[in-house]
Amino acid sequence: MKLLIINGPNLNLLGTREPEIYGSRTFESYLQELREMLEGEEVEYRQSNHEGDIIDFLHNAECDGIILNAGAYTHTSLAIADAISGIQIPVIEVHISNTATREAIRHTSLIAPVCRGTIAGFGLNSYFLAAQAFIMGHVNR
């Protein structure tokens, strides 16, 4: 199975940005471990702080499933929601923190209605849980 992980704005700062919320580990170090845990599966990774890049990643994806942490765009981007709606590849929304326990603006996801599911609050392991959902066949096309 081929999976694409797309991370949005500020996720390039993992490891140093608000470690009390996001932990002290970089995504790159976690990605190496994730690939080892998912041995036999192909995992590609993209990150951008720019909304248009994320939309292009979605439009140009060639994979079986997308794991998307859109960061703050989760709560503001109809354009990303429209991009998800416009592709045939299933998308799982992930968040490192439990957005329901954070500021009120983070309680509403504009992308959740067009994603197959949402996994939040399990730290970086949210990505592993999303990958498992794809691998175990719990996500329909």
- Which of 45, 50, 75, 95 is catalytic? The answer is 95
Map tokens 């590609």 to a residue.
44
Map tokens 């209605």 to a residue.
113
**Annotation marks residue 30 as catalytic:** no
**Annotation marks residue 22 as catalytic:** yes
3-state secondary structure the chain: CEEEEEECCCHHHCCCCCHHHHCCCCHHHHHHHHHHHCCCCEEEEEECCCHHHHHHHHHHCCCCEEEEECHHHHHCCHHHHHHHHCCCCCEEEEECCCHHHCCHHHHCCCCHHHCCEEEECCCCHHHHHHHHHHHCCCCCC
Cα distance between residue 43 and residue 128, in whole Å: 11
- Which of 22, 30, 73, 127 is catalytic? The answer is 22
Residues identified as active-site: 22, 95
